[in-house]
Amino acid sequence: MSRIRVIRRVIVLLLFACTLSAIAASTDENIVRVRFPIDERYMVIVPVSINGAGSFNFMLDTGNTTTIIDRKLADQLSLPFVGEKEVTGIEAKLHVSIAHSRSISIAGLAVRDLNVNVLSHPLTNVRGVLGEDFLSHFDLLIDNRHHTVDLQLGLGPMADMFEGEHLPVSFEGDMDGEFIKHRLIVTGYSVELSNKAISLQLDSGANFLYLFGGVEILGVGATMQRFAAATISSPSYQFVGYKKKVRQLRFGQKKLADLVAYTLPRTVGKDTDGLMPTSEFQSIFISHSQKFVILDPSPKA
């Protein structure tokens, strides 16, 4: 059986080394452009400053609710620890410490007084992950064609700069009776996936369509395969899962063809049906300020 490396932030943090540059763009001082390198895993790596120090390479991950930093960097910056908690990944629960940052900034745009999860397990080639608790302060355009991210802090002109269907997005969830915020959930439809609406987390930290519903959600035609993954809790995690080619997945009027979907044999208890990689689109505009997304937007004349 062939082996597929699973790239995922809480499922996975196996990343590539990169050199980054941030470039101011637009005439609005609250809009910046950050260039990122890219490889076949479609990870978005950006330069981040913490409490004025840095920059440090972080993965930009719309699929993670919280921002993550490795323990060595937290100690290097003398971040104060303010608590501990347990977080739930795909394959296990993980105990993390919580540290407080006075400011986290990207290309000069800062979010202040943000708590971050601290991992004792070192990350590979990055020092942390920018999650939705940070990104929710921005409207952003992830351009996978030109390898750039445009960010606007707060409400501004970006929402009026693009044409395309405005798809509603949910920023909240409920898992095991617990309220969860900083989500980024859209609704999709596929005849081959239960022939009903499915909720999917828009995820810049995933490189394939990953479903939580077990083999039942894939239906007829799914094939078993062994996967290898580097996870936060285990650098050599392996599991058996299923895959299937999905001929069409639709979001509003936007149609994607011939996606390969993966799932574990069992159902995983989550507040969505799966993870939708943003790398499947040429670009994606996310308006946190006005609660919509545009898939493959075009600039207004």
How many other C-beta atoms can be found within 10 angstroms of the C-beta atom of residue 35?
Answer: 17
> What is residue 124's DSSP assignment?
B
Report H helices in 56-127: 71-76
pLDDT in tens, 161-195: 999 999 999 988 776 667 788 889 999 999 888 77
77: three-class secondary structure by DSSP: coil
Q: What pLDDT score does 5 carry? A: 36
* Domains in the chain: ranges and CATH: 4-157 (2.40.70.10), 163-299 (2.40.70.10)
Show pLDDT as tens, one digit a residue, over the chain (301 residues): 333 333 344 333 333 333 333 433 444 567 899 998 765 556 788 999 999 987 899 989 999 889 999 999 999 999 999 888 776 655 556 778 899 999 999 999 999 999 999 988 777 778 899 999 999 999 999 999 999 999 999 888 998 999 999 999 998 877 666 778 888 999 999 988 877 889 999 999 887 888 888 888 888 888 888 776 555 445 556 677 888 899 999 999 999 999 988 888 777 667 788 999 999 999 999 999 999 999 999 998 7
Q: What pLDDT score does 218 carry? A: 84
d(CA 24, CA 41): 26
d(CA 249, CA 190): 5
